[in-house]
Structure 1
Amino acid sequence: MKHARKLTVGLGAVAMSVGMVATAGVANAGTNATDYGYNSYTGAKAAKVYFQHNGDVFYIHDLAADGWGVAVQYRVNNSKTTTMVHWGGANTMVAIGRSEIPEGATVQFRACRWLSDRSDCGPMAWSESAVKAKA
């Protein structure tokens, strides 16, 4: 399967306040997509989220031994934001299926590090709209 291209979004000084620089995931019709979250202090990849359109599964990977969790924020048809956090530790992954995503929906997501009880992943830009494949 093809992977959608990754769009890099520079966040400047605002990202420093949450310790992140991020990219936004794009899942085009019939494709899967990957997004990374970066530690803004070291520049290292800290989080990886892979969206598998067939089955609507998010794979959330923690890439860094930094004491932070990792998260994916996603929204469907530009609606409310849903956040899923993985606290498994460095070099671990969790797969979470989301059966409520309707066929033909627009899905946007972003990966980030997660500390304590933050209610969002910071001021990261969302991806361009992407259409989920119809069955």
Structure 2
Amino acid sequence: MRRNVRRLLSGLAATATAVGLATTLGATPALAQSDGSAYTKAWISKGYVAHAGYVYFTALGEKFTLFDSDADGAGVSVQYYVNGAYREELYLGSGNGTDKTFDRSFAEGAAIRFRVCLIDNDVIQETTCAWGSGVA
């Protein structure tokens, strides 16, 4: 019986040591993936309605899909950041009722922040911009 107790205590001590070592070395659970979206804001004096452009970020596969949903003559622009660093601008200029998907690759758990805006004659219409975020 003493031998069984000794084996049990040895096993528990080894488990406790492994858990302590993992904690000391900084083992942390990965961040959960999350999708995100953002919709442009209205700018009535310029003729832009709310939700004239929007973007969906899909965490699984790291994809941005841009949509143009108004015949206002403006395109849709998305600028995005990965872990706080600016990456690039995506553009959809094919007109009302169209969409375009951009397939990207990010490290698992990367924080993705993006801004969607209407863009007219190569000028970002700042008043229409809105922010969204997700986790790759």
TM-score higher than 0.5 here? Answer: yes
In structure 1, what is the equivalent of residue 99 of structure 2?
93
In structure 2, distance between residues paired with 1:90 and 1:126: 21
With a CA cutoff of 8 Å and minimum separation of 6, indicate the structure with the bigger relative contact order. 1
In structure 2, what is the equivalent of residue 105 of structure 1?
110
Identity, in percent, stands at 34
Q: Is the 8 A contact 1:46 1:112 kept in 2?
A: no
How many residues were matched structurally?
102
Deviations 1:8-40 (A, max 9, x none): xxxxxxxxxxxxxxxxxxxx8332111100231
TM-score computed with the length of structure 1 as normaliser = 0.65
TM-score computed with the length of structure 2 as normaliser = 0.64
Q: In angstroms, what is the RMSD of aligned CA positions?
A: 2.3
Unpaired runs of 5+ residues, structure 2, are 1-30
Query: What secondary structure sits across from 2:126 in the alignment?
Result: coil
In structure 2, what is the equivalent of residue 22 of structure 1?
none
Unpaired runs of 5+ residues, structure 1, are 1-27
More helix per residue: 1 or 2? 2
When residues 125 and 67 of structure 1 are mapped into structure 2, their CA distance, relative to the original with a 3 A threshold, is closer
